[in-house]
Amino acid sequence: ALIESPDLAVCKKIHTQGEVVIETTCCPPNRKKIVDFVFETPSRIRVRPAVQHMTVEHIEKYKEATRRMKALDKDDPRSFAQQANVHYAYCDDAYSEMGLPQMPLEVHKSWLFFPFHRWYLYFHEKILRSLIEDDDFVLPFWNYDDPSSMTLPSIFDEINSPLYDQLRNQDLCGSTKLINFRSYRDDPQPQLTDTEIIQNNLRVMRLQMVTNSKTTQQFFGGKYIVDRPRPNHTPGSLEMFPHNIVHSWVGSKSTPKGEDMGSFHTAARDPIFYVHHTNIDRLWGVWKDINCKNKDPDELEFLEASFLFYDEKAQLTRVTIKDCLNTSALGYRYDNVPIPWLDLDK
Ligand code: C2O
C-alpha cells in the first residue's frame, strides 16, 4: 500500500525511539483545509546557481527574504521556525502513517528521501520568493563536491547576517577549513593535507554516485511501503555519504547531538541546511544524467506517495512524488558546474 500524507492532527509531542524518550514542542500548526498541488502556469524555468557564483544583488535578496521569514509570527506556518519544524516532524517519528498510529513516519533512510526534500525546498523557495515579491528569486546550492567549494560558504559565515547560525562547528569559521567526507565529528581528526582531503572527497563522491549506486535501490535506499517495520529501512548511497557527513560536520561540537545541523530535529534551523539540500537535489539529477540506466523508481508505491506542505499563502498543500520527478515542470533547473569526480581514476 501507499504512504499517504500524514494526519497532522496526530503529531506526537512525546514518543520513543528505541529506548530513548523524545519530548518536543516542535509540531507544526495544523489546518483542516487541504488543497491539491497545481503546477504554475504559464510554466517557466529559473536557474539555481552555485552559492559562490551568486551576484551581490542575489545575495542581498536571499538575506532579506530569510530575514523576513525569520520575522514572521512564530505561529505562521511560513515562518522560519515552523519551516524547520516541518522537517523535524517528518523525520523524528512525530507523525504516523495515515490511519496507523503505531507506525511512525520517517522520510530518511528510504526512497522517500530525495522526493520529500525536493518538495520541501520547493515550498521554502516559493515562500522566500513571495516574501520579497520577486518572482525570479531562487535558492543557490553549495556544491561541496567541487574543490573550489569544500569550505563553509562565506555568506553563511557573517555573524550578524540572517544566514548565520550560532550552533555550528566553530572550527569552520573563517571558511578555510575543508570539509572531510571521511570523518564524522566525533572521530579523531586525522592529519591530512588539504590536497589529500580533496582527493579523498572526490573519491567518496565517485564511489557513492557511480560505484555504489548502480541500481535504483542502491541510490535511493530501501522501499518504503506502508506498515513495513523500521529495520527494513536502508539509506541510499548519497544519503549516507556525503549527505550525513555534511550534517554532522556543520553541527556544533559542543551541543549534545550536534545541533543544529547534526541532528534531525534541529537541522533545518540552520539556513545552510537549504543549500546543502539543493546540492543533494542537484546530485539526484546528475545521477540520472550520467548514465541512461539510472532511473527513478517506477513503483506505484513511490509515484503516488504524498506529503503535506504549507505554501506561500500558508495553505496546506498535498503533493505526490510523481509530480516532482521533473524539475523543469516545477520551474527550475541547476546551473551547469564542473563535475570533478566523474572521470577520476578509481
Ligand atoms: Cu532531512 Cu539532510 O536531512
Q: pLDDT digits over 212-258, tens only? A: 999 999 999 988 876 665 555 789 999 999 999 999 999 988 888 88
What gap in Å lies between CA 48 and CA 276, rounded to an integer?
A: 13
Q: Is 272 in the pocket of ligand 1 (CB under 6 A)?
A: no
Q: Is 101 helix (H, G, I), strand (E, B) or coil?
A: strand
CA 274 / ligand 1 centre spacing (Å): 9
DSSP state, residue 208: I
344 domain-assigned? no
pLDDT at 90: 66
> Does 300 reside within a domain?
yes
Report d(CA 230, CA 187) in Å as an integer.
27
Within a domain: 19: yes
CA distance 160 to 261: 19
> Does 186 fall in a domain?
yes
Ligand 1 pocket residue status of 267, Cβ below 6 Å? yes
Residue type for 237, please? S
Residue 276 appears among annotated catalytic residues: no
**345 has a pLDDT exceeding 70:** no
How buried is 87 (Cβ within 10 angstroms: 0-12 exposed, 13-18 middle, 19+ buried)? Answer: buried
Nearest CA to 346 out of 210, 146, 198, 238 is that of 210
**What percent of the chain has a predicted confidence (pLDDT) above 70?**
84
Contacts of 309 (CB under 8 A, 6+ apart): 86, 119, 120, 122, 123, 316, 317, 319
Within a domain: residue 6? no
**124 carries an active-site annotation:** no
pLDDT of 255 reads 85
Q: Which of 80, 113, 114, 117 is catalytic?
A: 117
Q: Report the C-alpha gap between 75 and 158 in whole angstroms.
A: 27
The atom number, within ligand 1, closest to the CA of 120 reads: 1
Q: What is the pTM of this model?
A: 0.93
Please report, as a single letter, which amino acid is at residue 327.
T
The domain of 120 spans 14-334
Model pLDDT for residues 157-202, shown as the tens digit of each residue:
999 999 999 999 888 888 788 998 987 655 666 688 999 999 999 9
Task: Assign 141 to helix, strand or coil.
Answer: strand
Instruction: Specify the number of domains making up the chain.
Output: 1
Cα of 264 from ligand 1 centre, angstroms = 7
Q: Which three cell numbers stand for residue 167?
A: 550552533
From 114, 123, 243, 276, active-site residue: 243
Give the CATH number of the domain where residue 44 resides.
1.10.1280.10
How many residues are given for the chain?
Answer: 346
Residue 91 in contact with ligand 1 by CB distance below 6 A: yes
For 63, what's the count of Cα atoms within 13 Å in the CB-facing half-sphere?
19
The answer as to whether 5 is a domain residue is no
What cell was used for 179?
Answer: 570539509
pLDDT of 292 strictly over 80: yes
264 lies in a domain? yes
Question: What is the per-residue pLDDT across 245-273, written as a single tens digit (0 to 9) for each?
Answer: 999 999 988 888 888 999 888 899 999 99
Complex ipTM value = 0.99
Q: Which amino acid is at 319?
A: V
Q: Determine the pLDDT at residue 300.
A: 92
Share of the chain above pLDDT 90, in %: 63
Written as nine digits, the cell of 305 is 506517495
pLDDT digits (tens, 9 = 90+) for 86-99: 888 766 666 666 66
Q: Position of cell 516542535? A: 26
In a domain, 150, yes or no: yes
How far is the C-alpha of 194 from the C-alpha of 255, rounded, in Å? 27
The per-residue pLDDT for 217 is: 95
- Residue 243 designated active-site: yes
